[in-house]
Structure 1
């Protein structure tokens, strides 16, 4: 029987489930919704609700079909849970992006939440990643990937390094490919919500032989605070947007990779 704290309506059994879920995460590193539902003898709907609550509290990293253990000191939960939003779409986009990355490549990765999810598909690739993203560095440590960490001013909200020194760091290197996010992209160009974001994205583009923009359909046709580049500065876009939204690019040379 489900019991409630009558003073605030909280399901008291949640506290017991929470401890069991966290114990399993500590032991195994990840949990699966179906297995948890069987082991705890409750519905998958209840488990998903529990995991979502624990994710919002910063206690785990929500994935499609389950959850993973996080290190709250290395990856603050606000960023992690942003990365977990719309995870299936982001993972489809990143799976396609990973198909364009080969052993020996040197690539740029920015601090976007979609680009972060590319990490899981790269760990067995013998590549060099140049990044300003602290979560990307954390995720790709101790695997086949070689890391070059950009220096500069730390932005705690974005969990990334930005600023003049960061841009100058990037200017010292060349990459064959860049995998970047934007706040908006339309036939009129690329858009950002801040000058810092615009500056570092532009630096990546300038030093990359081929640039991929990774974005879900919510970014297509969107024009935000600052236009920082024309559309012809990037080569390809990987997105889940439908043909109607993508029609705005029909007169451009942009390669569209749909997932």
Structure 2
């Protein structure tokens, strides 16, 4: 599969519902979205033509062979303006000559797309970032391991052992959630292990967290706030978060570009 070519936010919602429930019904979607059933059928037809859904009587189901990649690409289409703003702010912290390590998040991918603006090299674990850097001429090292399809990344013991031998100047990562108590968290344990190793390897650790992830927590902690040098977000956080950031002596950067 190449990239998602979904025509509307409504089609994104249909795909997200199919990923969560495996099977969706036309009448339920029409009632929820306030549109005619024929509109939903046309959406399903278009998604089926792309190989994203399979039509069934009265609805559609997600295709098992494409569900993980679809899930990843849908994440890449969420909060794109915020991710771009975070990436631009992170780029300001990167200097010519740096070695920059990027996790496999779609937020770090936004930085990979503009990293050619600096004379740097990179370390990556994600296929998408590798493709972007290769196309833009940024030299990079790809650290391999076990392939983790939901994030299109490499994880596991081989990855972690290799990363312990590398010492990038800057590490840029994201997480599914952040709270002062639990820190930066993620539900996918293979990704957690890889991100933990990245954080420990870096000279300067930069977290890119859009405001929708604040005051939430996922299964496992990637890093605590005091392990992160810079936290970049797109909206001013609560007083509780600001106080925790100050206590941890972490630099807070707020882009404010989507307010």
Q: Give unpaired runs (5+ residues) of structure 1.
A: 1-6, 15-48, 60-72
Q: 1:81 to 1:166 in 2, by over 3 A?
A: same
Are 1:229 and 2:223 an aligned pair?
Answer: yes
Q: CA deviation at 1:235?
A: 0.7
Corresponding residue SS for 2:226: helix
Q: Give unpaired runs (5+ residues) of structure 2.
A: 1-35, 53-65
Match of 2:98 among 102, 105, 116: 105
Partner of 2:78: 85
| Equivalent pairs, count | 200
Partner of 1:165: 158
Partner of 1:216: 210
Corresponding residue SS for 1:257: strand
Q: 1:58 to 1:111 in 2, by over 3 A?
A: farther
Query: Is residue 127–residue 144 contact of structure 1 (8 Å, CA) maintained in 2?
Result: no
Corresponding residue SS for 2:169: strand
Partner of 1:125: 118
Deviations 1:159-180 (A, max 9, x none): 0001011111111110110000
Query: Is residue 148–residue 190 contact of structure 2 (8 Å, CA) maintained in 1?
Result: no
1:42-81 → structure 2 map (5 Å cutoff): 76-81=69-74
Corresponding residue SS for 2:88: helix
Are 1:247 and 2:216 an aligned pair?
Answer: no
Q: CA deviation at 1:57?
A: 5.2
Corresponding residue SS for 1:126: coil
Query: Is residue 107–residue 128 contact of structure 1 (8 Å, CA) maintained in 2?
Result: yes
Q: 1:243 to 1:82 in 2, by over 3 A?
A: closer
Corresponding residue SS for 1:190: strand
Q: 1:9 to 1:223 in 2, by over 3 A?
A: closer
Q: CA deviation at 1:95?
A: 0.7
Deviations 1:194-230 (A, max 9, x none): 3212211111111101100001012222222113433
Query: Is residue 187–residue 248 contact of structure 1 (8 Å, CA) maintained in 2?
Result: no
Partner of 1:196: 190
Distance (whole Å) between structure 1 residues aligned to residue 134 and residue 51 of structure 2? 21
Deviations 1:64-100 (A, max 9, x none): xxxxxxxxx9x95542332121111111111111111
Deviates more, 1:246-255 or 1:101-110: 246-255
Partner of 1:38: none
Are 1:9 and 2:3 an aligned pair?
Answer: no
Query: Is residue 111–residue 136 contact of structure 1 (8 Å, CA) maintained in 2?
Result: yes
Corresponding residue SS for 1:111: coil
Distance (whole Å) between structure 1 residues aligned to residue 167 and residue 51 of structure 2? 36
Distance (whole Å) between structure 2 residues aligned to residue 198 and residue 209 of structure 1? 19
Q: CA deviation at 1:128?
A: 1.1
